[in-house]
Structure 1
């Protein structure tokens, strides 16, 4: 039997499988194009320039999906709920966030299994940020 010895094959991370940094930068840029004109979401970003928020989300997603740990190196533990606590995130904000993220994911043209895995996480993440009923 021609068995492949354990440890000789390296598995690619999701980050690598979908195209690495370029894919996540494109995803987040497409997302923030929608946020920029959204009357519900845009006020949640106090910075006039969305660039820093775009960079933070990009670095977070890169790290989450197996890329470099630049986000944690620069900002520490993600603490997503804590970082979003100052903002009233209700069901309408959740839905708006997912609407723009859906358009961004669709713009990537990922393989169906990658698209599903990414989307499932984004739906979960959006739900976990809701912190108010109204």
Structure 2
């Protein structure tokens, strides 16, 4: 046992609680969308008029997934992530950009290392599963 090592979470505590609950997830998601808003490939997938809605939906989804309130499902039903993203052009480039912005947001949250790795592992696997095309991003073919 390492002297001074703290357990990443107390016995019986959810991941949601261990990382700081709603304020932590909202901070991560807002930082993520700050990056998305500047990204020429991802930004068109997130209309400016619905950015607050996108922030709320992702925050609620992540909170529920990690043991927080069930508000997401109460309001929207089953997440059905692939179905909800099928209308978007999600190719490997979009996935990589999404992961880049999410990695930046998680790093900025200054979570315990085990929490950060655990969260990013899930987010990266989820991002890989959203790929629905291998066609170049429209307008980015020659970049």
Could you state the TM-score of these two structures normalised by the residue count of structure 1? 0.91
Give the C-alpha shift of residue 37 in structure 1. Answer: 1.1
Alpha-carbon separation, structure 1, partners of 2:95 and 2:50: 22
Alpha-carbon separation, structure 2, partners of 1:38 and 1:74: 29
Note the 1:107-118 alignment, pairs <5 A: 107-118=108-119
Alpha-carbon separation, structure 1, partners of 2:35 and 2:17: 26
Alpha-carbon separation, structure 1, partners of 2:50 and 2:74: 23
Alpha-carbon separation, structure 1, partners of 2:67 and 2:31: 21
Alpha-carbon separation, structure 1, partners of 2:80 and 2:31: 24
Alpha-carbon separation, structure 2, partners of 1:74 and 1:113: 31
Name the SS of the counterpart of 1:48 in structure 2: helix
Alpha-carbon separation, structure 2, partners of 1:71 and 1:47: 21
Alignment correspondent of 2:35: 34
Alignment correspondent of 1:101: 102
Give the C-alpha shift of residue 10 in structure 1. Answer: 5.8
Alignment correspondent of 1:75: 76
* Segments ≥4 residues shifted beyond 3 Å: none
How many residue pairs align between the two structures? 126
Alignment correspondent of 1:4: none
Name the SS of the counterpart of 2:122 in structure 1: helix
Alpha-carbon separation, structure 1, partners of 2:36 and 2:114: 26
Q: What is the alpha-carbon root mean square deviation over aligned residues?
A: 1.3
Alignment correspondent of 2:19: 18
Name the SS of the counterpart of 2:29 in structure 1: helix
Give the C-alpha shift of residue 129 in structure 1. Answer: 0.4
Alpha-carbon separation, structure 1, partners of 2:105 and 2:47: 22
